[in-house]
Amino acid sequence: MRKFLQIALFVSLSLFANAQSSPEALKLLNGITQKFNKVRDYQVDAVIDARISFLKILPQKAKVFYKSPNKFHVESTGIAILPKQNFDQLFTLIANENNFMAFISGNEKIGDAMMQIVNVVPLADTSDLILAKLWVDAKQDLIVKSQLTTKSNGTVLIEYIYKTWTSLALPDKTIFTVDIKRFKIPKAISADINSKSKTEDPTKPQKPGRIIIDFSNYKINKGIDDNIFR
Amino acid sequence: MWAITKIELIKIFAKPRSYIGFVAIAIIVSMIHLAMYVDGINYIQFITNPIEAAFNIEGKILNGNLVCFIILQTLIIQIPLLVALVTGDLISGEAAMGTIRLLLTRPLSRGKILFSKFFAGAAYVFVLLLWLGLTSLGIGLLIFGAGDLIVLKSDMITIIQADDILWRFYAALSIAFLSLLVVASFSLLLSCFAENSIGPIISTMAVIILFTIIGAMDIPLFDKIKPFLFTTHMVIWRNMFDQVLDVELIRNSLLVLFAHVVLFMSGAWYFFNKKDILS
């Protein structure tokens, strides 16, 4: 059903592909892009906390590297669970006006501030992203929340919390909420021979998985060797 | 007691069959190391596929800790059989060779003789586990290096950080030692009734296989029986690899295993004292 809705949404939005983006939406996105364009590269310490029903893992320390326009690398001391979407994916998409069509679809209050909701549709049919719905703080030129509908991973909700680097649109915390499927493998494979199987109601929806990433100690525009991204 | 235990140990290690376990472990461990070295990435992808459908996994998944854990899981059924091969022979082997009559003419109580055999069997189990630990973890870490451990259960995945693993392996091997003592004492008990080694060895193997099958089957009737089977508690070593340890569950299983050792050795002591030596 969800896949059908995604296709229906994609087809209906494709009908507007020849239509131009709304100037208000473009103005909002340009403000964000100009802010982020000040960042040529950054390196930041991250603590990745994956909260997924079938996965037990302690928060993991990592280093995140970014170099403009689209180089991205995560280096963790151990095993870290990360969202499929790179942290800079949105900025890469909205950096070029020719890559997408955008229009404002309404307003919504988040906290004390009123956000404008901008829908962004990538024009390339090869893109995994079908639709990005962005909640934009127009006063500060910041994306505070985004909902990405993708072909391969369903819907991903991303919340951004800014404190230290509001001026460069770099978040201190990012929360990814992802739809996940039920996890079950045969006991013979897991060699979990004596465990008792939990009887779960298959009609009960699976709790979405959350990945909370805390960023600290940003090193911005200090230069990063390209070898790190290999 | 130590002197007589030492003699029993010499007897154990003088028999070629005592080395079957070491050779079998070396072959199985080498095969798994080789398979993981050549094609480990594909195997790991099979494990991580359910997570990678929604997330990316960063870090070194294929490492010595994971390979050691896979080996321990694989050998969980086989090692008790390798132990029974030696401990099932301790009394019945003497009966079959006709040396038990001579042994019991010595100025030692039957209890002392029985327990010296048990302690020698325990020492054999300890050395066998040490060999397993050295080959699987030691060589595994040398080949694949250290790293976080992914523990796979049928409905759960646990990831344990590298610096939190080693003590869990020590604890798991210690629990495995107690588990194998149950097998050793059980086969020693059966050994008291037999005049040849085949009976106790095969009987021990049959009981372990039967109990393991019952434990693996999700049938409500068996659920009532499972807590009374020692094989249910023998796999409690896996719980050492939970993110948060269920201390009560582990303690209860250890008590059950210990009670089995006491029960089997008490039975062995009673029947060995009453045994008519006819051979």
Nearest CB partner across the interface for B54, out of A57, A78, A178 = A178
What residues of chain B lie within 8 A of the CB of A180, using their CB? 54
What residues of chain B lie within 8 A of the CB of A79, using their CB? 57-61, 147-148, 150, 159
pLDDT tens, A50-75?
A: 998 888 899 999 999 998 888 888 88
**Cross-chain residue pair B153–A181, CB shorter than 8 Å:** no
Percent of chain A with pLDDT over 70: 80
Three-class DSSP category at A8 = helix
Q: Which pLDDT band holds residue A230 (cuts at 50, 70, 90)?
A: confident
Dihedral angle sign, alpha carbons of residues A64, A65, A66, A70: negative
Chain B nearest C-alpha distance from A54 (Å): 5
Residue B219 has pLDDT above 50, yes or no: yes
Three-class DSSP category at A94 = helix
**Cross-chain residue pair B243–A58, CB shorter than 8 Å:** yes
Question: Kind of pairing, strands A41-51 and A154-161?
Answer: unpaired
Q: What is the pLDDT of residue B43?
A: 83
Stated pTM of the model: 0.82
Helix ranges (H only) for A38-178 are 89-94
Nearest to A79 by CA among B121, B174, B52: B52
Question: Chain B interface residues facing chain A, Cβ-Cβ under 8 Å?
Answer: 50-51, 53-61, 73-74, 76, 147-148, 150, 152-159, 161-162, 212, 215-216, 218, 223, 226, 231-232, 235, 238, 242-243
Dihedral angle sign, alpha carbons of residues A192, A198, A203, A206: negative
Average pLDDT for chain B: 90
Domain residue spans in chain A? 24-182+205-222
Beta bridge partners of B109: none
Q: What is the pLDDT of residue A3?
A: 58
Three-class DSSP category at A87 = coil
User: Cα(A85)–Cα(A104) distance, rounded to whole angstroms?
Assistant: 23
Q: Which pLDDT band holds residue A16 (cuts at 50, 70, 90)?
A: very low
User: Cα(B92)–Cα(B125) distance, rounded to whole angstroms?
Assistant: 19
User: Cα(B264)–Cα(B70) distance, rounded to whole angstroms?
Assistant: 31
Q: What is the pLDDT of residue A220?
A: 92
Residue A193 has pLDDT above 80, yes or no: no
pLDDT tens, A130-150?
A: 889 999 998 888 999 999 888
H/E segment holding residue A190: helix A187-190
- Where do we find the tokens 């004492």? B185
User: Cα(A43)–Cα(A33) distance, rounded to whole angstroms?
Assistant: 19
CB B229 within 8 A of CB B215: yes
A192 to chain B: closest CA residue? B153
Nearest CB partner across the interface for A193, out of B57, B60, B216 = B216
CB A92 within 8 A of CB A16: no
User: Cα(B66)–Cα(B247) distance, rounded to whole angstroms?
Assistant: 23
Chain B nearest C-alpha distance from A125 (Å): 22
Q: What is the pLDDT of residue A160?
A: 93
The residue-averaged pLDDT of B33-55 equals 84
Q: What is the pLDDT of residue B270?
A: 94
Residue A108 has pLDDT above 80, yes or no: yes
The residue-averaged pLDDT of B41-65 equals 83
Q: What is the pLDDT of residue A191?
A: 62
**Cross-chain residue pair A79–B158, CB shorter than 8 Å:** no
Q: What is the pLDDT of residue A201?
A: 64
Nearest to A160 by CA among A76, A69, A88: A88
CA B26 to chain centre: 15
User: Cα(B227)–Cα(B224) distance, rounded to whole angstroms?
Assistant: 7
- Which range in A125-139, B208-222, B238-252 is most confidently predicted, on average pLDDT? B238-252
Residue A17 has pLDDT above 50, yes or no: no
pLDDT tens, B87-128?
A: 998 888 888 888 888 888 888 888 899 999 999 999 999 999
The residue-averaged pLDDT of B186-209 equals 91
Nearest to A87 by CA among A110, A68, A64: A64
What residues of chain A lie within 8 A of the CB of B51, using their CB? 55, 81
Residue A229 has pLDDT above 80, yes or no: yes
Q: What is the pLDDT of residue B123?
A: 95
Query: Please, which residues have CB within 8 angstroms of residue B114's CB and are 6 or more apart in sequence?
Result: B91, B188, B192, B265, B268, B269, B272
Residue B221 has pLDDT above 90, yes or no: no
Chain B nearest C-alpha distance from A58 (Å): 8
Q: What is the pLDDT of residue B258?
A: 96
**Cross-chain residue pair A185–B232, CB shorter than 8 Å:** no
The residue-averaged pLDDT of B203-216 equals 90
Nearest CB partner across the interface for B212, out of A81, A185, A193 = A193
**Cross-chain residue pair B54–A80, CB shorter than 8 Å:** no
Q: What is the pLDDT of residue A18?
A: 46
Nearest CB partner across the interface for A82, out of B58, B60, B76 = B58
Beta bridge partners of A102: A120
Mutation test of the interface with chain B: which of A72, A81, A197, choosing the one with the most B Cβ atoms within 10 A? A81
**Cross-chain residue pair A211–B55, CB shorter than 8 Å:** yes
Nearest to B236 by CA among B222, B252, B221, B224: B252
Q: CA-CA distances (angstroms) from residue A39 to A36, A66, A151, A223?
A: 6, 9, 30, 11
Q: What is the pLDDT of residue A35?
A: 85
Q: Which pLDDT band holds residue B44 (cuts at 50, 70, 90)?
A: confident
Q: What is the pLDDT of residue A15?
A: 46
**Cross-chain residue pair A184–B154, CB shorter than 8 Å:** yes
Q: Pick the more confident residue, B194 or A183.
A: B194
The residue-averaged pLDDT of B25-51 equals 88
Nearest to B121 by CA among B257, B9, B10, B260: B9
Nearest CB partner across the interface for B57, out of A54, A81, A195 = A81
Q: CA-CA distances (angstroms) from residue A142 to A93, A117, A145?
A: 15, 12, 9
CATH H-level, domain A24-182+205-222: superfamily: Lipoprotein localisation LolA/LolB/LppX (2.50.20.10)
Residue A8 has pLDDT above 60, yes or no: no
**Cross-chain residue pair B238–A57, CB shorter than 8 Å:** no
Chain A nearest C-alpha distance from B162 (Å): 7
Nearest to A217 by CA among A174, A165, A168: A165
Beta bridge partners of A143: A136
Q: What is the pLDDT of residue A4?
A: 57
Three-class DSSP category at A26 = helix
B75 to chain A: closest CA residue? A191
User: Cα(A198)–Cα(A70) distance, rounded to whole angstroms?
Assistant: 44
Nearest CB partner across the interface for A78, out of B147, B157, B215 = B147
B163 to chain A: closest CA residue? A78
SS (H, E, C) chain B: CHHHHHHHHHHHHHCHHHHHHHHHHHHHHHHHHHHHHHHHHHHHHHHHHHHHCCEEEECCCCCHHHHHHHHHHHHCCHHHHHHHHHHCCCCHHHHHHCCHHHHHCCCCCHHHHHHHHHHHHHHHHHHHHHHHHHHHHHHHHHHHCCCCEEEEECCEEEEECHHHCHHHHHHHHHHHHHHHHHHHHHHHHHHCCCCCCHHHHHHHHHHHHHHHHHHHCCCHHHHHHHHHCHHHHHHHHHHHHCCCCCHHHHHHHHHHHHHHHHHHHHHHHHHHHHCCCCC
